[in-house]
Amino acid sequence: MNNIMDFYRETLGYEDYYSIINNQSDEDEFICNDRFLPNITSKSNGEEITTTVGDSRIDVPVWFGDLNKSVRIVVLGLEPRDTNQLFNIERVGNKVYGTPFGVDRWNYKSSVWRKPQNKYFKPFNKMVNDENHFVLFSDVVKSYDIVDVDNKINDSHARENFISKSIKEKDNLMREMELIDPTHIITLGGVSYGVIKKMLPDYNVIKVRHPSNGGSLIAMEQINKLFN
């Protein structure tokens, strides 16, 4: 995974992101899974990070298991959001980093308000614990611009600029897939599926119901059917 981590560091600009995640030890707040980010050294952060106007909220991909497995799955969402400061892991300049889908806080005991990350925990839990699978969580577009104090305006800005950003970041996305060489790409929702089918026509791309807005159970049924 060193080549992939070097690629993410070069393109996204994080510093100690992975080491900070691996130092999160509160079993009531953070994910407890030995397959999550194996062989990463730990480093303490200890600071509370709040985003402000002018920041970019960036989700750096995370994974479960060994890349050398015969089944290598990449799960792609559209782009990050800025839903709660508890999801923020590291700040470098005006860039604030977190995990896609709040993976580092996949914990039913978590104190995060409304626990949105557990909408994803339930459908993917079986898959990420399968010893035969390598599973990486990422996004088509990696950054989300904080242009206003109102997140509804930020969300609208993200939707309006998604296509242009995805085109701009296409080469990085293609390089990311080359490094991982996935046997399956799972896209969450129709928009990401349409974009990825066009950008990556040579890969096995599968559309799954997005777990948000009441779709968690449907997503779980589709995923379990795929990999039974």
Q: What pLDDT score was predicted for residue 46? A: 62
How many other β-carbons are positioned within 10 Å of the β-carbon of residue 210? 21
- When mean pLDDT is compared across 34-43, 98-107, 202-211, the lowest value belongs to 34-43
Q: What pLDDT score was predicted for residue 48? A: 87
Angle between helices 170-180 and 151-168 (to 10 degrees): 70
Q: Could you state, in order of their start, the residue ranges of all structural domains in the chain? A: 2-227
Cβ atoms of residues 206 and 186 within 8 Å: yes
Q: What pLDDT score was predicted for residue 179? A: 97
Q: What pLDDT score was predicted for residue 39? A: 84
Q: What pLDDT score was predicted for residue 167? A: 95
The CA distance from 28 to 107, in Å, is: 7
pLDDT tens digits, one per residue of 26-61:
899 999 999 999 988 777 666 789 999 999 999 999
Q: What pLDDT score was predicted for residue 10? A: 97
**Residue 92 above 90 pLDDT?**
yes
The CA distance from 32 to 223, in Å, is: 22
The CA distance from 113 to 129, in Å, is: 26
Q: What pLDDT score was predicted for residue 221? A: 95
φ, ψ of residue 64 to 5 degrees: the values are -125, 135
Task: Return the residue matching tokens 């970019």.
Answer: 56
**How does residue 101 score in pLDDT terms, banded at 50, 70 and 90?**
very high
What are the tokens at 72?
Answer: 């290598």
Q: What pLDDT score was predicted for residue 151? A: 93
CATH hierarchy code of domain 2-227: 3.40.470
Q: What pLDDT score was predicted for residue 44? A: 67
Q: Which residues of 122-145 are buried (b: 16+ CB within 10 A; e: fewer)?
A: ebbeebbebeebbbbbbbbbbbbb
What's the angle, vertex CA 78, arms to CA 123 and CA 196, rounded to 5? 95
Q: What pLDDT score was predicted for residue 35? A: 95
Rounded mean pLDDT of 54-76? 96
**Residue 7 above 90 pLDDT?**
yes
**Can you list the pairs that 17-23 forms with residues at least 24 positions away whose Cβ atoms lie under 8 Å?**
17/60, 17/89, 17/90, 17/97, 18/60, 19/43, 20/44, 20/45, 20/89, 20/90, 21/62, 21/89, 21/99, 21/104
Q: What pLDDT score was predicted for residue 41? A: 77
pLDDT tens digits, one per residue of 155-187:
999 999 999 999 999 999 999 999 999 999 999
**Residue 193 above 70 pLDDT?**
yes
Q: Could you tell me whether strands 143-145 and 184-188 are parallel, antiparallel, or unpaired per DSSP bridges?
A: unpaired
What is the distance, to the nearest Å, from the Cα of residue 11 to the centroid of all Cα atoms in its chain? 15
